[in-house]
């Protein structure tokens, strides 16, 4: 069961179009979800950390943010393709973002990071999943593009 939780800390983002044209607002929503998850210690950063965490508890994750692969790094590219397939198989929403640099800067990482996972947030009974407003909006965005053969790329804010 999923319950949308009241989001009070970051305010309400404006509406955006799920229909196809990518707006800057979804990037702000993604940024807020990542920042919240980091503050709440529900964020796994980096490809090796993501793979290890998913191998142990795949049902604990809600989103997988993926930056474009580095050109010419075929080993990392293969790992990322397998990670995406694993996430798809376990109903983890994949959100493709425009830049590993922006992701790394946003998360305060001193090294370049190509992916990040957001863990689900559970009520104390461990049976009810709670979504913040930004997570609920990201779920709506992902559901709108679930069947799309080519996923849209979300542009994270520049700042």
Predicted pLDDT of residue 13 = 37
Q: Mean pLDDT per segment of 10 residues, for the chain of length 159 residues?
A: 40 41 74 94 93 92 92 84 92 94 93 93 80 92 87 88
Q: How many CB atoms lie within 10 A of CB 121?
A: 18
Residue of 16, 15, 6, 77 lying closest to 47 (CA atoms): 77
User: What is the helix (H) or strand (E) element at residue 131, kind and residue range?
Assistant: strand 129-131
Domain boundaries, the chain: 22-154
- Residue 21 confidence (pLDDT): 36
Q: Are 119 and 61 in contact (CB under 8 A)?
A: yes
- The pTM of the full predicted model, rounded to 2 decimals, is 0.82
Do the beta carbons of residue 22 and residue 78 sit within 8 Å? no
Q: What is the CATH number of domain 22-154?
A: 3.30.1330.30
């Amino acid at each position: 069961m999923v319950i949308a939780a009241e989001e009070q800390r970051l305010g309400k983002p404006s509406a955006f179009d799920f229909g196809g044209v990518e707006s800057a607002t979804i990037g702000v929503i993604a940024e807020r979800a990542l920042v919240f998850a980091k503050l709440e210690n529900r964020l796994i950063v980096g490809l090796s950390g993501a793979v290890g965490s998913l191998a142990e508890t795949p049902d604990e994750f809600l989103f997988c943010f993926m930056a474009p692969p580095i050109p010419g790094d075929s080993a990392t590219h293969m790992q990322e393709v397998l990670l995406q397939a694993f996430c798809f198989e376990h109903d983890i929403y994949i959100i493709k973002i425009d830049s590993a640099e922006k992701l790394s800067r946003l998360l305060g990482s001193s090294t370049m990071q190509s992916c990040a996972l957001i863990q689900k947030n559970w009520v104390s009974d461990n049976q009810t999943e709670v979504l913040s407003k930004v997570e609920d909006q990201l779920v709506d965005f992902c559901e709108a593009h679930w069947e799309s053969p080519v996923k849209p790329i979300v542009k994270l804010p520049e700042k």
